[in-house]
Amino acid sequence: MTSLINGIRKILLNRNTVTILAVFAGVIVLWFFYNMMVNNATNPKSVPVATRDITATEEITKEDFEYVKINSSFLKKASVVTSGNQLTGYYIANGTSVVEGAMFYRNQVVTKDKLEERDSENIPDGYSLYWLKVDNTSTYANSIYPGDKIDLWLKASVNGSIVYDEFINSIDVLQVKDSNGQNVFDTTVPKTPAWLSFAVKDDMLKYFKAIENTSGMQLYPVPRNKLYTTEGAEVSYSNDLLKDLIRNYAQIDVDE
């Protein structure tokens, strides 16, 4: 027994043996931490998905969702609801819908009091809500969405000539509604747009109303690219000559 212990002691005290054991131990530690990291990154998590198409303003019940497992790394990048407790009794927000089999994103789920906010409740002080009449053609096949920044062009017939030029740039679209006053994108199949809403200052509202009530004048929405939408400048007039044209041709007094 003593000789066996001495033999083991000699092996352990051997420099080469110690080196080999240290390398082996290091490999085991690295393997352990690598597997732990992989498992943490790929370990599937259960998240709720819709069991049917749910349109805007509908209340979410327990029967409206079930759980599926997805890669946990996806959850770090996506703002999705991960618990049924955050769905039951809540509502689908205006301007959106959830199709069958889709996850619920956090900005799609709201409380009832938030859902019942009136159109004017989000308008800042000193601004008014303006509705521009549009159709499927003027919205470029319904390609203008709430939150987009767009330009507004003025078309005017003056003394037999047609004027068509940019009048307002970088204005935010608040809502897109159909002829019944319903949000166009509340359903999985978008409705036909009839109105775009904007928040405008009083001086700009006077110009818009003058155009609206003057024969031969009309505003047209012009969408821009995504970069313009997210990084566009503050809303402003694009053309002072058009302002003069509106004042003179519509025979109105606009104080600024």
* Whether residue 128 sits in one domain with residue 204: yes
Query: In the predicted model, what is the mean pLDDT of residues 138-146?
Result: 92
> Does the residue 168 lie in any domain?
yes
The reply to whether 254 falls in a domain is: no
Same domain, 158 and 69: no
Pair 129, 192 in one domain: yes
Q: Is the pLDDT of residue 154 over 90?
A: yes
Cα–Cα dist 143/176, whole Å: 10
Q: Is there a single domain that holds both residue 97 and residue 132? A: no
pLDDT of residue 18 exceeding 60: no
- Could you tell me which residues are beta bridge partners of residue 237? 168
Q: What is the mean pLDDT of residues 48-70?
A: 91
Residue 234 confidence class, pLDDT cut points 50, 70, 90? confident
Shared-domain flag, residues 153 and 230: yes
Q: Are residues 139 and 236 in the same domain?
A: yes
The owner of tokens 């039951």 is: 88
The answer as to whether 255 is a domain residue is no
When pLDDT is averaged across residues 215-240 and rounded to a whole number, the result is 81
Q: Are residues 67 and 184 in the same domain?
A: no
Q: Answer yes or no: is 90 within a domain.
A: yes
> Closest Cα partner for 215 from 139, 174, 171, 155?
155
Distance of CA 166 to the CA centre of its chain: 26
Are 72 and 191 members of one domain? Answer: no
Which among 142, 144, 140, 95 is positioned nearest to 122, based on CA atoms?
A: 95
Domain encompassing residue 92: 47-115
**Which domain CATH number covers 94?**
3.90.1210
Digit-coded pLDDT (tens) for 188-212: 778 899 999 999 988 899 999 999 9
Q: Which residue has the higher pLDDT, 13 or 250?
A: 250
What's the CA gap between 75 and 89, in Å, rounded? 23
4, burial (CB in 10 Å: exposed 0-12, middle 13-18, buried 19+): exposed
Residues 82, 200, single domain; the answer is no
pLDDT above 90: residue 228: no
**Residues 87, 173: one domain?**
no
Domain-ending residue, one of 96, 115, 134:
115
Q: How many domains does the chain have?
A: 3
Q: Does residue 97 lie within any of the structural domains?
A: yes
The pLDDT of residue 157 is: 85
More confidently predicted of 253 and 82: 82
Nearest to 173 by CA among 146, 138, 137: 146
Same domain flag for 110 and 77: yes
